[in-house]
Structure 1
Amino acid sequence: MAAIFRRMSKSTIGTALMVVVLLAILAGFALQDIQSVGSGGLGFSQGTLVKVGDSAVTERELSSALQRRLTEVRQQNPQADYASLAGEFDQILEALVQVRAVREFARQNDLHISKRLIDAEIVKLPGTRGLDGKFSDAAYQNFLQQQRLSDAEVREMLGGALASRLLLAPAAANARIPVGVATHYASMLLEAREAEIAIVPAALFAAGVPQPTEADIQAFYKQNSANYMVPEQRVLSFAQIGPEQVAKVAVTEQEIAAYYKANQALYAGKSTRVLSQAIVQNEGQARALAQRARASGSLGSGSASLGAKTREELARIAGEAVAAAAFRARQSDIVGPVRSDLGWHVIKVDAVRNEAGKPLSAVRDEIEAKLTPEKRKEALTDLVTKVEDSIAEGASFAEAVRGAGLSVVRTPAITAGGVARSQPGYKLPAQLAPALAAGFDLNEGDEPVVETLDGDAGYALVGVEEIVAAAPAPLASIRDQVAADWKARQARDRARTTASAIAAKVASGTDMAAAIAGAGVRLPPPEKVAKRRIELSALGGRVPPALGMMFSLAEGRSRMIADPQGRGFVIVQVTKIIPGNASLQPGLISRTQSEFQQAAANEYAEQMSKAMLAAVGVKRDDPAIRAAKKRITGGN
């Protein structure tokens, strides 16, 4: 409801908390400065886009946030690519800057986030609980691997989120809006309006547009080249280091035998005794009890069954002396009395059970099945280490791959979304998708890197072979599209001319229907619309421009507006305004007051955030930001 008066979705602090916390915690972004595309100038280090106090927001960090956002968008639109995020680029960058500023402000003012506070947040992360519903370190490690984060990165990010909560929440607490102010805005919600709306569709003018000349196409392409920008493309090489590379690793007979020998507790025979016992505190009573038991064959009602016990188990319960005596006896023997720390024991051996051990031949396959995955995992780790050591010692991608005996997958020129414009049907192997971002984080000439793949796919060595800078698509490859766009522009221009003439007549007092009739083009008749402002709140912020203009103009005034999708133009004339009166609707006043108090809280938090930005100092490398946007999304 309050969104009618203020676009809270554009609240800077709201954007920061929504975008960064969701994208960073659940999807993750790198928090270290890693060399990327350098810009030079202003004292910025290579890869830095914005300096925030003594820290920085890097291109690697932004690229990772955009990658995670793209993953989210693709859940709704599988065909989405980085170009579709161009409109969110500045918003996400600003969110990263603000959260970094809060963290820096906390540091400068000695607000330290303890390890215990961060630990409490880690256990709340999705995917960190085991089957029992409790935090599991194994689940947490799997979460880190899936999100391609380290524990240190998660802790740094959560520290920033906690600092935001501790610093911004108090500033936003207890916001209050007077009833008088809420009543005024509640009455606005009840305001009713009537208007006439005329539509001038651009499609009605398309039939009269001639085919463009070559000169027209050339000029239009030159003037609008930014609309045909192709994001940066790269030719990448991948070498997967996974289960296939260690499939031939096998356990030797010596290793199987060594494991069998080291785990005799699992495979050796076992001797147990089923026992009953009675314990008394006097030796004389114990002797008398033992004598009666030998005569009757029973310890009597005062005894207790111990069940089946090994010698070691009995020793832990009653002591070594009792265990030794019990295991020297035969079945049905009465043992004792024997003294322990518990008293005097009289024991009956109810049964003797001897279980034969398992020979190596019987458990060989079982041991092999257990040891093989472990050995292959170690071999895979050794192979990754060998590749990384080779790269660290100066080997090229080709040399490292050859030395490790790996197969190479070479891509055509692809975008950061994995799309190959030269090969529309190309699909990057699904298991390599997690390593794609690493390929776009590297600079030309950087050493190849090893990236962890999802699940059990292992790892991938990633190298850059060629970088194709973002640039407009060649005219020859999009000539038909440019020609169609030129014709659509001509149709819109003609529609604008007609709509402007109608709007001018209406503004000078001509009846809208008469103005349309005199336009010289067969147009739809004007539509009479009656709405209350409160109805717009049900649209959830997706208010059509014509209705928005209807509630912006004074009575009798008119205005022409363009359709946001370029489909034509709309002329709106407000014919009647009926003021609302909320004095008899206390429930509406209360709801309006509550919503405006939340809006006020957001405003206070936003102002606090801006003050922190000013306090820590922010310097933007605008050329680097523009270059990053062009490289990643192809936008300007």
Structure 2
Amino acid sequence: MISFFRRIFSSKLGLFLTFCFIGLIAFAFATADVTSSGTFGGVTGSGTAVKIGDSKLTTSELGQSVNNAFRNEQRQNTGLDLKTYINGGGFDSVLDRLINSFAIADFGTKYGMAAGKRLVDGEIANIGAFQGADGQFSEENFRRALQQQGLNETQLRDDFTRNLLADQLLTTAGFGAAVPQKLVVPYASLLLESREGQIATVPSVAFIDNKKPAKAALEAFYAKNASRYTIPERRTIRYALFEKSRFNDKIKPTEKEIAGYYNLNKPRYAASETRNLNQVIVPTEAAAKALVAKINGGTSLDQAAKSVGLSAAEVGSISKADFANSASQAVANAAFAVRPGAIAGPAQSALGWHIVKVEAVKQIPARPLDQVRTEIVNELTRSKIEEAMAELTVRLEDEFADGSTLSDVAKAEKLKVESTPALLANGQNPNDQNYRPIPEMERILPIAFAVEADSEPQIVEIIPGQQYAAVDVDDITEAAPPPLAQIEQLVTRDYMLDQGSKKAKAVADKIAKAVSGGTSLAKAIADAGVKLPNPERISATRADLARQSQQGQVPPPLSLMFSMAQGTAKSLAAPRDQGWFVVVLDKLNRGDASKRDDLLTATKTQFKQVFGNEYTAQFIEAMKADIGVKRNEDSLAALKNQLLGGN
């Protein structure tokens, strides 16, 4: 249902929906791999692209954001190239989103709103790319990510501040939108509308001339449809895998380190005692003393607790220090001063007065160094190997930054360098359909396709703390169609289908015209003079159409049938020049939702969301008008031209 209404209002909501998810920094980092290096397209300079209030959006910032957005889209659609992305509106979409972000933040600042440092810190700490293997914020990862993305901390904080201000301002903009019932009923009734019709197919193969096409005609067709055969950008990747296990036989702790670790952790190995405890906590000392007297008189701890509406809690086996931390030192002293089976207390903690029964006592003797040597060696070895692995990755990154090649580093570190064939961004080899990349490529490919051709090698974390790869892009094959000679058979087939499709269109148009003039579909097909498949009868409701639309499975002829007048026929092209459809609408059955409270309620809810989005979009426009937006069209045109590969 929501897809149906979104289509109705798409022209009004474009601005808002491009901005709605206030995730600019997630957009710039999480979806563009903060571990990538540099930007694609060689954007240089940092002139002002747009002045928004007191802020300036530079061409450098805009170019970087466009490249990040393009790379994110390219991961979903490996056939996408930068030129297609920009010409398809990608550049303008990113520009609008950034202008909105700056405008909202400037408007909020102008009228006294703020996003505090602690709030920004919290948002930054929640970004996965800035977290270490333990899931906590890592200063090292944070600095490395900023450096690789070409940002500084001030830029990052400014981005988060703008987003937080937007979150505060936009949340209530569309809240409580009212929807008139007179508007809800007609649209709810549309979902109950049903249509019945027929679909005739006019296939291109019925009109194909099997004579071999002329070379000039084939070349002209290929040139006109080159994008159909374009192979997306491919990259040859050289990589060297290395794991933590490489240090297993190289790192052993010294006797001095073992003794030092033992002395540093002597309390862990000293003699200790744990006690299995049960306890009852009461609010006053008088009540506690009365309960102790009852227990000393022969009543069990459980029964005594139940007599005053409480229950005994099992503490379990615990040391004196741990019990002092969970209760109080006074309670722990009392509990560890009596013999097994005795009652300790009452003693006070912040929770109240404790009566503790000692169920059992376990004495743990001291453990000398010889007894725990293996345990200490394992702990020290693990820690030293982790430290060595971290030092290795940092050292390799530094060497790459200083100009060392992958081959240089691999030779020095005794790593084996492997090379892939020219791969697409999804890991497929267009020249070998049976090729399967190694599992590690799932982490390597996004980085390899994010860096520029002349970028230094990258260190990619495959398994956190366990396995890494040194990665270099050896060769980049730009997106381009192959030579005609290589795919001449395929192009010849498509050319013949194209020619057949043109003839099929003429027949389909003739049939549609006849049916719209009152001729039955069967007679119009018979009069066409070509043997065609029998037409197919179809029927559906708008609710069916909306449901299929949400799943992305609406057949184009069915969609067309719901935009036609009763008793008319229209022709529609089939995909890939396969032929044409003739769609006939025989009957339209109007719906009535006036007594369908469930449908009316659902439709009203959807409209509230649509109205709220519209109010939010208008609020953004009002903020932009209030603070002023001045675009530098010359700079914007120059940047777009540069991204497209122009001078």
Both structures adopt the same fold (TM-score exceeding 0.5): yes
- Cα distance in 1 for residues equivalent to 2:399 and 2:129: 35
AA in 1 matched with 2:171: A
Which residue of 616, 622, 625 maps to 2:640?
A: 622
Give the equivalent residue in structure 1 for 2:102: 104
Query: Does the residue aligned with 2:177 lie in a helix, a strand or coil?
Result: coil
> Would you say 1:475 and 2:484 are equivalent positions?
yes
Match of 2:250 in 1: 249
5 Å matches for 1:374-413?
Answer: 374-413=383-422
Q: Cα deviations across residues 335-368 of structure 1 (Å, max 9, x unaligned)?
A: xxxxxxxxxxxxxxxx999865333332221111
| 1:180 matched residue in structure 2 | 182
CA contact (8 A) 2:37 2:451 kept: no
| 2:522 is the counterpart of 1:522 | no
Aligned equivalents of 1:311, 1:529: Cα separation in 2: 78
Partners of 2:402 and 2:130 lie apart in 1 by 37
Q: Which of 57, 60, 77 lines up with 1:53 in the alignment?
A: 57
Is the 1:190–1:534 contact (alpha carbons within 8 Å) kept by the matching residues of 2?
Answer: yes
Aligned CA distance change for structure 1 residues 357 and 562 (closer, same or farther; 3 Å) = same
Q: Which amino acid aligns with 2:41?
A: V
Aligned to 1:265: 267
- State the secondary structure of the residue aligned to 2:449: helix
- Aligned equivalents of 2:618, 2:173: Cα separation in 1: 9
Report how far residue 517 of structure 1 moved: 0.5
Tell me how far 1:499 sits from its aligned partner.
Answer: 0.9
1:82/1:457 CA distance change after superposition, 3 Å: farther
* Cα distance in structure 2, aligned partners of 1:42 and 1:269: 67
Structure 1 pair 180/432, CA: closer, same or farther in 2 (3 Å)?
Answer: closer
- CA-CA distance at 1:433 after TM superposition: 3.4
Q: Which residue of 1 aligns with 2:293?
A: none
Amino acid of the structure 1 residue aligned with 2:38: I
**How far apart are the structure 2 equivalents of 1:353 and 1:569?**
86
**Counterpart selection for 2:40 from 36, 41, 59:** 36
What letter corresponds to residue 431 of structure 1 in structure 2? Answer: E
Q: Is the 8 A contact 1:431 1:457 kept in 2?
A: no
Asked whether the equivalents of residues 452 and 459 of structure 1 are also in contact (C-alpha less than 8 Å), the reply is yes
Task: Describe the shift of the 1:172–1:312 C-alpha distance in structure 2 as closer, same or farther (beyond 3 A).
Answer: closer
Match of 1:200 in 2: 202
1:491-542: per-residue Cα shift (whole Å, max 9, x none)? Answer: 3223212212222333444433222101111123445555554553343455
2:125–2:137 contact (8 Å) kept in structure 1: no
In the alignment, the residues of structure 2 paired with residue 441 and residue 103 of structure 1 have an alpha-carbon distance, to the nearest angstrom, of: 25
Helix, strand or coil: the match of 1:103? Answer: helix
Residue 145 of structure 1: how far off its partner (Å): 7.8
Q: 1:487 aligns with which of 496, 500, 517?
A: 496
Q: What displacement does 1:40 show?
A: 6.3
Alpha-carbon spacing, 1:87–1:171, altered in 2? closer, same or farther (3 Å): farther
Task: Give a deviation string over 1:163-210, Cα, whole Å, max 9, x none.
Answer: 44333333322222222222333444455555444322334445x543
Q: Look at both structures and tell me which one has the larger radius of gyration over its CA atoms.
A: 1
Q: 1:559-570 counterparts in 2 under 5 A?
A: 559-564=570-575, 566-570=577-581
Q: CA deviation at 1:374?
A: 0.9
**For 2:2 and 2:445, how far apart are their aligned partners in 1?**
43
Counterpart of 1:292 in structure 2 is none
* Distance of 1:9 and 1:92 partners within structure 2: 21
User: Measured at CA, do residues 353 and 495 of structure 1 come closer, stay the same or move farther in structure 2, by a change above 3 Å?
Assistant: closer
Give the corresponding residue for 2:313.
Answer: none
Distance 1:63 1:364, change over 3 A: farther
Query: Matched residues in 1 for 2:535 and 2:274: separation?
Result: 98
Please tell me whether the aligned partners of residues 233 and 469 of structure 1 are also in contact (alpha carbons under 8 angstroms). yes
1:91-170 superposed matches below 5 A: 96-109=94-107, 110=109, 111-117=113-119, 138-141=134-137, 162-170=164-172
1:472 and 1:213 map into 2 onto residues whose CA distance is 21
Aligned partner of residue 523 in structure 1, secondary structure: coil
Contact 1:98 1:613 in 2 (8 A): no
**Quick check: 2:270–2:365 contact (8 Å CA) kept in 1?**
yes
Q: Is the alpha carbon distance of 1:17 and 1:453 closer, same or farther for their aligned partners in structure 2, counting shifts above 3 Å?
A: farther
| Equivalent residue runs for 1:8-87 within 5 Å | 10=10, 11-12=13-14, 13-14=16-17, 16-17=19-20, 24=27, 27-29=30-32, 34-38=38-42, 53-54=57-58, 81-83=78-80
Of stretches 188-197 and 170-179 in structure 1, the one that deviates more from structure 2 is 188-197
Q: Work out whether residues 33 and 447 of structure 2, in 8 Å CA contact, stay in contact via their aligned partners in 1.
A: no
CA gap 1:243/1:60 in 2 versus in 1, 3 angstroms:
farther
Counterpart of 1:605, as a letter, is T
Contact persistence 1:237–1:411 (CA under 8 A): yes
Aligned to 2:430: 421
CA distance in 1 between counterparts of 2:608 and 2:247 reads 62
**What is the CA distance between 1:627 and its match in structure 2?**
5.8
Q: CA deviation at 1:158?
A: 6.1
Deviation at residue 310 of structure 1 after TM alignment: 8.6
**Counterparts of 2:275 and 2:621, CA distance in 1:** 77
**Deviation (angstroms), 1:7:** 0.4
Deviations 1:5-44 (A, max 9, x none): 6506954333544696897499543579934322569958
Residues 208-267 of structure 1: per-residue CA shift (max 9 Å, x gap):
543445444433222211111122222332233431443333223322232223322233
Distance of aligned partners of 1:261 and 1:491 in 2 relative to their CA distance in 1, 3 Å threshold: same
C-alpha displacement of 1:376: 0.9
Structure 2 residue identity aligned to 1:7? R
Q: Does 1:496 align with 2:505?
A: yes
Q: Is 1:230–2:231 an aligned residue pair? A: yes
Contact 1:175-1:597 within 8 A present in 2 as well: yes
CA RMSD of aligned residues (A): 5.1
Name stretches of at least 5 consecutive residues in structure 2 with no aligned partner.
50-54, 147-151, 277-295, 298-316, 340-359
Out of 566, 570, 595, the residue aligned to residue 606 of structure 2 is 595
Question: Structure 1 residues 564 and 155, CA, compared in 2 at 3 Å: closer, same or farther?
Answer: farther
Residues 145 and 452 in structure 1, CA contact (< 8 A), matched pair in contact too: no
Cα distance, 1:433–1:179 mapped onto 2, change above 3 Å: closer
The answer to whether the 8 A contact 2:272-2:363 is kept is: yes
Offset from partner CA, 1:574-599 (integer Å, 9 cap, x none): 44555555555565444433332322
Deviates more, 1:601-610 or 1:376-385: 601-610
Structure 1 length normalisation: TM-score? 0.70
101-110 or 423-432: bigger deviation: 423-432
CA distance in 2, matches of 1:271, 1:3: 67
Decide whether the 8 Å contact of 1:127 with 1:140 is kept in 2.
no
Q: Which residue of 2 aligns with 1:546?
A: 557
- Structure 1 residues 19-28 or 507-516, which shifts more? 19-28
Task: In structure 2, give the amino acid aligned to 1:107.
Answer: A
Identity rate of aligned residues, in percent? Answer: 28
Q: Whole-Å Cα distance in 1 between the matches of residues 321 and 24 of structure 2?
A: 58
Letter of the 1:606 partner, please give it: A
How far apart, in 2, do the equivalents of 1:312 and 1:447 lie? 52
Q: Which runs of 5+ in 1 are unaligned?
A: 46-50, 74-79, 130-135, 275-299, 302-306, 332-350, 629-636
The amino acid of 1:368's aligned partner reads V
Q: 1:194 to 1:454 in 2, by over 3 A?
A: same
